Amino acid sequence: MPAVHTSDSRSVSTVDDAKGLMTQIRKLTCEREIIVARAEKRIAAISEKAQADIAEVDTRIAPFADQLNTFILTHKDQFEKPRAVKTPDGRFGLRSVSNVDVFNEDRALDCICAKGYDDCIERRVSFKKSEIAKILRDGKKIDGCRLEEGELAFFIVDKTLVNGARESVIDTSTEE
């Protein structure tokens, strides 16, 4: 594990001092991005291999599953009671299924609301904060809302530097 470096105890009193801090932040941000990119590269390789392995096994399962489905659907009378056959390997049989197709949402919503079937719908509310801010800036009040404005110190490491650090990992396949 690399040593932890912290800023020294000198106070920052000039823009040049602040630029030095920004250089350190950029270096460490790029270092972090390289670590993330290397991890993502390894994860992607593992995932790609796993997906290929899974697809190969699924291909081998398919003929057995097709045969079992055909048997079950051809011999429904053998699955009336019980509906499923238990084996040491699992269960197979028939299962009742249903699906609701809401093919016209507007008409369904009107009908559900008119008949009072409130448990059939879920309403989500989201606030458009930019629109609320416009109203509050115009001096109007909205109960439960307030406009907080001020200044916030920030720093942003140049994306091209961060992306360059990331690309250096993606472009090299010598490590691993």
Residue 8 has pLDDT above 80, yes or no: no
- Which residue, chain included where needed, has tokens 């942003």? 156
**Confidence tier at 85 by pLDDT (50, 70, 90):** very high
Please give the average per-residue pLDDT across 33-42, as a whole number.
Answer: 94
CA distances from 101 to 72, 80, 97, 98, 114 (A): 27, 27, 13, 10, 20
**Distance in angstroms (rounded) separating the CA atoms of residues 106 and 104:** 6
Name the 3-class secondary structure at 91.
Answer: strand
Angle between helices 15-74 and 159-171 (to 10 degrees): 50
Model pLDDT, residue 176: 47
- Which residue, chain included where needed, has tokens 């509050």? 136
Of the candidate ranges 66-70, 74-78, 97-101, 154-158, the one whose mean pLDDT is the lowest: 154-158
